[in-house]
Structure 1
Amino acid sequence: MSTKSTSVFDFYGKPSFATALPLSLQHLLAMIIGNITPALIVSGVVNGLATRTGDASLGADAAVLVQSAMFIAAIGTLIQLFPIAIVGSKLPVIMGVSFAYIPTLSAIGAEYGLPGILGAQIVGAVVGMVVGIFIKPLRKFFPPIVAGTVVLSIGLSLYTTAVKYIGGGAGLITAANNLKNPESAPAVIEAAQKTLAGGQFGDPKFLIVGFVTLLTVLFVGQFGKGMIKLSSILIGIIVGYVVAFAMGMVSFDAVAAKGWFALPAFGKYNIAFEGPAMMSMAIIFIVNSVQAVGDLSATTMGGMNREVTDEELQGGIIGSNLGSLVGALFGGLPLATYSQNVGIVATTKVVSRFVFMITAIFVLIAGFIPKFGALMTTIPQAVIGGATIGVFASITMSGIKLIIQDELSNRNTGIVGLALALGMGVTSVPELLANYSPTIKMVFGSSPVTIATIVAFVLNIIIPKKTLAQEQQERDEMEAKKAVKK
């Protein structure tokens, strides 16, 4: 270990601030939109429930959730960079709120609001920390065929979220249904009328903004170079935002109402521990804790030319889940290592802890500025949808890449196919579980990820492993027996 190194290619290296700053900003640009978007999506879901029920305690201030997302992402990153005992990996990674949790968070939020999400998150984080402690023996139960199926199901389940946002947001669908329902309370009807004042779901202006954003992200991502290419999502959002502003879709009232400085919202929101929500979240936390093995391994292999150690895996997973647990107390959503930042490490080989610390400090400062969070909430949902549908597509393809790391034998394709068929199929037909208990409906009917995970996990254990060569040998033996009989 060299304590005097100034190299950006040394984890302990401390380059000059002028050298580190652009490298830090590169990581900031790569993570910031991904970090705030889940907060915007989840706030829309829980506020929809609050409007329908008339119970404001179920909803959330979107600006506060964004502020909390920045604060917790910074704390989570610093934990990884500067570990304490077995908490933290001491690896160059950036933490942020994970898209992988959105299907489950949305399902829980639509049923129990933000309190249900935060309670389930605390339980899930504790389960995730236990996984971290025992990660070495548990890894064998999540080979690429299982992990890939889970990631693929996450990507597929997010498409409807993106399309709803491109159409103007799920809130417009809810508002329209409220106006059609004669039993809706007057307050709910009034809220629906205000929401629809911005336009019906699928209004041409929403579609124009959404697809302008999408095409910008696609064009810049495919034809851009260097930092421009890396910032394709950010550039797409800026272009979509400008178009939306020109069309009168942006209001800065929320920004004006917020102050310049505020401490993170510790204890601002109620926490509720709902059984079905906790079960669903525990499953997803287990899967994503094991998934962290991939990002941490890619970091060491891509940036340090070595395998990740069991101690680094254990500390990284425990640190990530501890960050999620603490985050729930501030209204922050679950954390994960950010794959896009792992990709930067693998490409640039820059692993200096000093560079990553500067990024974390910038993110932390944003967590103390309410106006920043409020500004982010002015981004129209159509812009968010156009910018993220490509991200969701990337998640889907990441799942496919994981799956094909194993042989596509009849056994493996059967596991993937059946897991996806049951996961996507059951949740697409809510009537199937309509007469069952709320627990059954939440665990098995709210998110396709849960069913796909359980099915893939169980089938991988009980179905005997057979390679393509072994399957071919079985066919050859069958043909040989037929020939003998003749």
Structure 2
Amino acid sequence: MSHATISTPEQLRDPNYTPALQRAIPLGIQHVLAMFVSNVTPAIIVAGAAGFGFGSNSPDFPELLYLIQMSMLFAGLATLLQTVTIGRVGAALPIVQGTSFAFIPIMIPLVAGKGVDGLAALFTGVLIGGLFHAALGFVIGKIRFALPPLVTGLVVTLIGLALVKVGIEYSAGGVPLKAAGSADYGSLVNWSAALLVVFVTLGFKFFARGMLSISAVLIGIMVGYVYCLLIGKLPFEAIAGSWNNAAVFALPQPFKYGWELSGAAVIGFCLMAFVSAVETVGDVSGITKGGAGREATDREIEGATFADGLGTAMAGVFGGFPNTSFSQNVGLIAMTGIMSRHVVTIGAVFLIICGLVPKIGGLIRTVPIEVLGGGVIVMFGMVVAAGISMLSDVNWNRRNMVIFAVALSVGLGLQLEAMTTAPGGVDALQHLPETLRILGASGILPAALIAIVLNLLLPDELADESTEEVSGGMQGHGSGLRRDETRK
């Protein structure tokens, strides 16, 4: 090997360094493989919540393909904003953007059972929320104090808890089967496909190395896909129909679903923008620490936030979902030790090409819902685990325990109550205006608001007080008695 092909440690830590193409292209595609499933899953979930038919002969089939197509296209374009930059927009770092899971609990109530009619309000909210998110770039450094790990960890945990039900429903056969009371819902065949994906994913995640470990969920879904082909659950005719009914090339359409101003959508997306912005700040810090061994600069954090918001706003115009930085790719940079933003640019170009070819979306759509359910179980469980990991940084004194307890009780309680309310039935928030009812039913926004307000208002003096009063005897007191009583 010639010296020209050997990268020095200084070059590897430099975001502006470009490895040789024979190395840069596989590394760029590697970034795409690490996030591909997570990126398109929200589109499939939202389409399912809206009531879209998933068959290739369904009248909603083109709409589902379009949503998948836009997820890929605008993940690529938003990533380009981060790596190539335009003025102050973009961090000039290897940041991979993708569709955010955080907004799914907000999007589902907006489209539930409404079909295509629910998408106008949703994408109008995405556009306005994205512009608000971009504006946070001017003040992100000043508002971080209001979102400590206590708040962000709680919110991320609740996001995961709101989504885990989706994984079980998909693994059992999907909401349409459940609603129809089908005997196939929860069948052994359905669960065998989902559990195979889970076990294969875990096997590759913990017993493989390198790219095989990073792409464990994707490999698990591919194995589940082949399994469904072998047992006849996925007919070859369905694959051929999806492929033949999808165009070879298609451009995005501005305001394809119209424009509808919904207070619930606008408020919901703007409030969740705070959470997404803080997540991006954490990812930028993780990239600079893991790849370059330094702290992120204010310019990088501001540029990343601008790109986050503008990428989301662009997606909203054309029918795409909110974008955010993808944390799994931060780990990939730390693993490879290559900080080059140009590597990620190659991955972004690959995503854009995929987004312009609907046939790729047609193939993705043929993944059986049970197979996707197995992958979702792992992915959404990891969201919960990420939230708990954030909470591990919290000093669990009495003050923080009270804040967490109240916010969690209200947020999780509202989530569970909304899940168990029959369509058309009464619910705990039925007397609120429609906008507040939709926002409250998510549980996430009320919990975040309570945690932020209490964290700002409750005096810090409480932090020095004992936690025994609220610990319920959990501080090592087996009988629940105080220490002075145990001596009698």
TM-score normalised according to structure 2 size: 0.86
C-alpha spacing 1:274/1:175, structure 2 compared with 1 (3 Å): farther
**Of residues 452, 472, 486 in structure 2, which corresponds to 1:457?**
452
**Residue type matched to 1:100 in 2?**
A
Q: Residues of 2 paired with 1:254 and 1:50: CA distance?
A: 10
1:254 aligns with 2:242: yes
C-alpha spacing 1:242/1:466, structure 2 compared with 1 (3 Å): farther
C-alpha spacing 1:136/1:171, structure 2 compared with 1 (3 Å): same
Shift of 1:96: 0.6
Give 1:235's aligned residue: 219
**Of residues 371, 377, 393 in structure 2, which corresponds to 1:405?**
393
TM-score normalised according to structure 1 size: 0.86
**Of residues 437, 452, 472 in structure 2, which corresponds to 1:441?**
437
C-alpha spacing 1:156/1:124, structure 2 compared with 1 (3 Å): same
Q: Which has the higher mean CA deviation after the structures are superposed, 220-229 or 40-49?
A: 40-49
Shift of 1:398: 1.2
Q: Residues of 2 paired with 1:99 and 1:402: CA distance?
A: 17
Q: Which has the higher mean CA deviation after the structures are superposed, 363-372 or 213-222?
A: 213-222
Q: Which has the higher mean CA deviation after the structures are superposed, 277-286 or 88-97?
A: 277-286
Asked if the contact 1:47/1:60 (under 8 Å) is kept, the reply is no
Q: Residues of 1 paired with 2:462 and 2:299: CA distance?
A: 32
Secondary structure at 1:85's aligned position in 2? coil
**Residue type matched to 1:95 in 2?**
Q
**Of residues 134, 139, 142 in structure 2, which corresponds to 1:137?**
142
Give 2:112's aligned residue: 110
Give 1:369's aligned residue: 357
Give 2:168's aligned residue: 163
**Paired-residue identity, %:** 33
Asked if the contact 1:261/1:370 (under 8 Å) is kept, the reply is yes
Gapped runs of 5+ residues in structure 1? 177-195, 476-481
**Residue type matched to 2:233 in 1?**
M
1:417 aligns with 2:417: no
Give 1:245's aligned residue: 229
**Residue type matched to 1:459 in 2?**
L
Alignment of structure 1 residues 68-217 onto 2, 5 Å: 68-110=70-112, 113-176=118-181, 200-217=184-201
Shift of 1:137: 0.9
Asked if the contact 2:75/2:323 (under 8 Å) is kept, the reply is yes
Asked if the contact 2:39/2:100 (under 8 Å) is kept, the reply is yes
Give 1:471's aligned residue: 465
Alignment of structure 1 residues 334-373 onto 2, 5 Å: 334-373=322-361
Asked if the contact 1:139/1:290 (under 8 Å) is kept, the reply is yes
Give 2:421's aligned residue: none
C-alpha spacing 1:266/1:341, structure 2 compared with 1 (3 Å): same
**Post-superposition CA distance 1:225-244 (Å, at most 9, x none):** 22211111011001111112
Secondary structure at 1:432's aligned position in 2? coil
* Count of aligned positions: 445
Q: Residues of 2 paired with 1:268 and 1:89: CA distance?
A: 31
Shift of 1:294: 0.7
Q: Residues of 2 paired with 1:209 and 1:260: CA distance?
A: 30
Shift of 1:341: 0.2
Shift of 1:473: 11
Q: Residues of 2 paired with 1:231 and 1:474: CA distance?
A: 45
Asked if the contact 2:83/2:342 (under 8 Å) is kept, the reply is no
Give 2:27's aligned residue: 23
**Of residues 266, 270, 294 in structure 2, which corresponds to 1:306?**
294
Q: Residues of 2 paired with 1:438 and 1:5: CA distance?
A: 61
RMSD over aligned Cα atoms: 2.4
C-alpha spacing 1:281/1:408, structure 2 compared with 1 (3 Å): same
Q: Residues of 2 paired with 1:399 and 1:215: CA distance?
A: 23
Secondary structure at 1:254's aligned position in 2? helix
Deviation beyond 6 Å, 4+ runs, structure 1: none
Secondary structure at 1:259's aligned position in 2? coil
Alignment of structure 1 residues 35-46 onto 2, 5 Å: 35-46=39-50
C-alpha spacing 1:393/1:467, structure 2 compared with 1 (3 Å): farther
**Residue type matched to 2:112 in 1?**
A
Asked if the contact 1:209/1:240 (under 8 Å) is kept, the reply is yes
Give 1:62's aligned residue: 64
Gapped runs of 5+ residues in structure 2? 419-426, 470-483
Secondary structure at 1:296's aligned position in 2? helix
Q: Residues of 2 paired with 1:269 and 1:299: CA distance?
A: 37
Q: Residues of 2 paired with 1:9 and 1:238: CA distance?
A: 34
